[in-house]
Amino acid sequence: IVLTTMAIFWVISILISLYLANWTLLPVMLAYEKQKEFVENASHELRTPLAILQNRLELLFQNPTATIIDESENISASLSEVRNMRLLTTNLLNLARRDSGLKIEPEETNATFFENIFESYQMLAQDADKTFTGTVKLDGNVNLDQSLVKQLMTILFDNAMKYSNEDGKIDILITKSGSYLNLFVSDNGEGISNEDKKRVFDRFYRVDKARTRQKGGLGLGLSLAKQIVVAYGGRIAIEDNPPKGTKFVIRLKIEMPTVHPARIFQKNK
Ligand code: ADP
């Protein structure tokens, strides 16, 4: 009886330790799988422009007597692939840097900061025959990392431009509620299905790979945007924008402006 009890106890403890080991190893295994998938995706994305570049350069090499004008199509296609690769490597570097911790450096910011950004968006939209409206409702100053917020807005604005048609309409509204800054970016473009809404924040995820690549999409913009929002302790959500289009709803936790000690001193003098 003693031996049987010991054997049962031994088997049970082995089973429990196997079960526990599985659970403790699971996050490590998942992280490894994610990293592997990321490296595979990044390599694939680099291989495509490299293959096209190789092909174009070989064509140029096979006909050394041709003039630059004759070969201009090959040269311009090669240049476009080089630009793609540069964009991709810059984005990958940004993601890697951010993975090791994103530091927020807040500055006192007022409505003018947003209005200046809106001005440049207005010009870009006009050039593409689209309409842009930017509205900012802020009473007083807020503390924000201006470069991160600008990057976030630009990712969403670029997407709204890319994924809307010729009579595209893009709106950005900025409001403040309590200690949160709200950012709404809406467009009347092709919209995002409920299925894809869950996946577009994944790195390299694109709804229609062939079409988005044509539009210069790498599938990294929204994952960068999410990283920025998370660093702010905020959240980002996607809603439909009836009758057609997408609305990004972002909430950033902001600090109230601090009064610099020197100013208190000056005030009291
Ligand atoms: P990309 O560089 O491909 O635009 P993102 O990460 O920014 O990468 O976006 C991921 C995918 O989400 C895009 O490929 C596109 O299919 C979809 N998407 C993003 N923004 C919009 C939008 N405003 N309207 C429709 N689809 C969008």
For 193-205, write each residue's pLDDT tens digit. Answer: 999 999 999 988 8
Ligand 1: which atom is nearest the Cα of residue 220?
6
Distance set, CA 124 to CA 24, 83, 198, 211, 221 (Å)? 50, 20, 29, 22, 18
User: Both tokens of residue 252?
Assistant: 């950033």
Listed as ranges, residues in the chain with pLDDT below 50 are: 261, 263-269
Q: Cα(190) to centroid of ligand 1, in Å?
A: 10
Q: What is the pLDDT of residue 99?
A: 67
Contact 246, 238 (CB under 8 A): yes
Please name the residue whose Cα sits nearest to atom 20 of ligand 1: 159
Q: What is the pLDDT of residue 261?
A: 45
Say which DSSP state 103 is in. P
**ipTM value:** 0.98
User: Both tokens of residue 138?
Assistant: 């802020």
Whole-model pTM?
Answer: 0.74
Helix (H, G, I), strand (E, B) or coil at 22: helix
- Mean pLDDT across the chain, nearest whole number? 85
| Mutation test residue for ligand 1: of 212, 236, 247, the one with most atoms within 8 Å of CB | 212
